Amino acid sequence: MTFSNIFKSSFIENVTSVSMVDMAIAMVLAFAIGLFIFLVYKKTYQGVMYSSSFGVTLIALSMITTLVILAVTSNVVLSLGMVGALSIVRFRAAIKEPLDIAFLFWSIAVGIVLAAGMIPLAVFGSIIIGVILLVFVNKKSYVTPYIVVISCNGNEAEEKATTFLKSKVNRYVVKSKSAQKGSLELNVEVRLKDDNTDFINELSEIEGVDSAVLVSYNGEYMG
User: What pLDDT is stored for residue 37 in this prediction?
Assistant: 93
Number of domains in the chain: 2
Looking at the domain assignment, is residue 33 inside a domain? Answer: yes
Q: Do both 123 and 16 map to the same domain?
A: yes
Residue 171: give its domain's CATH number: 3.30.70.260
- pLDDT value of position 9: 47
Total residues belonging to the chain: 223
Which residues of the chain have a pLDDT value below 50?
1, 3, 6-15, 221-223
Q: Can you give the pLDDT at residue 125?
A: 92
Tell whether 122 and 181 lie within a shared domain.
no
pLDDT of residue 92: 62
Range(s) of the domain holding residue 174? 145-216
What span, in angstroms and rounded, lies between the C-alpha atoms of 136 and 36? 17
One-letter identity of residue 136: F
